[in-house]
A = this chain, B = another copy of it.
Amino acid sequence: MTWIEKDNALEREIRTPDFLSAFNLVSRLVAPAEALNHHPDVAFGWGYVRIRLTTHDAGGLTDKDRTLAARIDEAIKPFAG
């Protein structure tokens, strides 16, 4: 786990070799997010992906975020070590 708790959210930043690899990594988040019906805020571009998890309805972190973080870690392992 390389998530940082910050401003009532879990955040993880991953460096990637270029834009396409960043997009490919982002595309791996979609299935876990849809499966849990809980959705990250994502920022990406050339060489980076930033993922932010919070439970907007609850105004902060919940178990939903921690579960999604673990599923995302698993999904992006082939890309992000």
A41 touches B39 (CB 8 A): no
| Residue numbers in B under 8 Å from A45 (CB-CB) | 39-42
Asked if A8 is at the interface of the complex by the 8 Å CB criterion, the answer is no
| Residue numbers in B under 8 Å from A4 (CB-CB) | none
Q: Please classify how large the interface on chain A is, using the bins under 10, 10 to 19, 20 to 34, 35 or more.
A: 10 to 19
Asked if A30 is at the interface of the complex by the 8 Å CB criterion, the answer is yes
- Which among B19, B20, B34, B44 is the interface contact of A20 at CB below 8 angstroms? B34
Asked if A27 is at the interface of the complex by the 8 Å CB criterion, the answer is yes
Closest to A37 in B: B19
- Residues of A bordering B, CB below 8 Å: 19-20, 23, 26-27, 30, 33-34, 39-46
